[in-house]
Amino acid sequence: MAQNKQILLDNRPQGEATVSNFKLVTVETPALQDGQVLVRHHYLSLDPYMRGRMNDSKSYAAPQALGTPMIGGTVGEVIESRNERFKPGDHVVGIGGWQQYAVVDATQIGYLRKVDTTHVPLSAYLGPVGMPGVTAWYGLMRICEPKAGETVVVSAASGAVGSVVGQLAKSRGCRAVGIAGGPDKCRYVVDELGFDACIDYKAHANARSLSLALKEAAPDGVDGYFENVGGMVLDAVLSRMNAFGRIALCGMIAGYDGQPMALANPSLLLTQRLKLQGFIVGEHMEVWPEALAELGKGVATGRIKYRETVAQGIEAAPEAFLGLLKGKNFGKQLVKLI
């Protein structure tokens, strides 16, 4: 059987995550049992939510167990099968984790899904036609509820989720305003993704300064906000929200290292009669078929654009993940395993 390199969670972070929290091991892949398939991973997805799973604290999901491969989405190819629904050569997407191979019990519905790479690249099933894309679709369509002529703002606008939010908002006739880190990312958001404006949050020392820039970029105020960051960015956008605005709370990466994040003016939620709703996309599987149909068609026809940052080899996963948490990636962060 194949030798399988894995990245385990070796110990829990104390504050900021470091490379020392992870451990590289090599194990033998076990022989298949009835109903199982062996998948060789081509790409591994790195996502901000993984940082929260490293902590032993109350959350929407159980903490990552120590001594086990880090959780993560994967795409790859079936190498061996003892399941009639899958055959060698099938391209599949699943949650194989930070490892080169995975033995999957394919009798459990939802653990593994065949995908068509004729018009959509395999890696895109971890980005715009995968969990990040459906996250963008659900938060925008079901919580922000965009209407033509409204203004939608999204933080982390050049990332895997935010980039899709803005493009979907534009397709609904909205003004799309991004917030991203650095002039290169802002140029990409406007020139390539088609947003109407993008604000470089790194050019602003505080929420007041960022709010003034947002006033210029969104002169009619903000009707829908897709939140990925929290902290100063959330304070700034709250100050520009219109009455009865809607906020989809997807992530708060500014606080993933455990630092408390105070809200400067929570009374705005009341005075502006705002709806703020957190969500976990895996709890809304009923929308996935509709969302994936639109996203897949968008990528296949070139209407939905995306960018990837690709690290090479399983050994590169920890450093790439830590870079993701600091915004060093551009677009979707992947690890190429073959």
* Interacting residues of 269 by C-beta distance below 8 A, sequence separation 6+: 238, 276
- Pair 6, 99: CB distance under 8 Å: yes
Per-residue model confidence (pLDDT) at position 57: 82
Average of per-residue pLDDT across 8-35:
96
Q: What is the pLDDT of residues 90-133, one digit of tens each?
A: 999 999 999 999 999 999 888 899 999 999 999 999 999 999 99
| Tens-place pLDDT, residues 164-180 | 999 999 999 999 999 99
User: What is the token pair recorded at 317?
Assistant: 């996963």
- CATH code for residues 3-127+306-336: 3.90.180.10
What phi and psi values does residue 82 have, to the nearest 5 degrees?
-125, 40
Fill in the DSSP letter of residue 287.
G
Per-residue pLDDT band at 15 (split at 50, 70, 90): confident
Report the C-alpha gap between 178 and 103 in whole angstroms: 40
Note the pLDDT of residue 110: 81
Instruction: Let me know: does 190 contact 164? Beta carbons within 8 Å.
Output: no
CA-CA distance, 331 to 261, in Å (whole number)? 25
Identify the residue whose tokens are 């690249």.
121
Q: How confident is the model at residue 50 (pLDDT cuts 50, 70, 90)?
A: very high
pLDDT band at 61 (very low <50, low <70, confident <90, very high): confident
Confidence tier at 217 by pLDDT (50, 70, 90): very high
- Cα–Cα distance, 338 to 112 (Å, whole number): 20
Give per-residue pLDDT as tens, 224-269.
Answer: 999 999 999 999 999 999 999 999 999 988 877 667 788 999 999 9
The DSSP symbol for 253 reads G
Task: Supply the DSSP symbol for 330.
Answer: -
* Average per-residue pLDDT for the chain: 96
Task: With both helix axes pointing from N to C terminus, report the angle between 131-138 and 162-171 in degrees, rounded to the nearest 10.
Answer: 50
Confidence band for 159, pLDDT divided at 50, 70 and 90: very high
Q: What b-and-e string marks burial along 178-197, b requiring 16 or more CB atoms within 10 Å of the CB?
A: bbbbeeebbebbbeebebbb
- DSSP H/E element including 4: strand 3-9
Fold type of domain 131-282:
Rossmann fold (3.40.50)
Helix, strand or coil, per DSSP, at residue 174 = coil
**How many angstroms separate the CA atoms of 132 and 288, rounded?**
11
Return the pLDDT at 271: 98
What tokens appear for 314 in the block? 């399983």
Percent of the chain with pLDDT over 90: 92
Give the global pTM.
0.94
CA–CA–CA angle 317, 161, 194 (5° rounding): 125
Q: What is the DSSP string of 114-171?
A: E---SSS-GGGGGTTTSHHHHHHHHIIIIII---TT-EEEEESTTSTTHHHHHHHHHH
Predicted pLDDT at 237: 98
Q: Domain ranges in the chain?
A: 3-127+306-336, 131-282
Q: What is the pLDDT of residues 174-206, one digit of tens each?
A: 999 999 999 999 999 999 999 999 999 999 999
Q: What is the pLDDT of residue 59?
A: 79
CA distance 63 to 73: 16
Contacts of 314 (CB under 8 A, 6+ apart): 5, 6, 7, 24, 44, 98, 99, 100, 335, 337
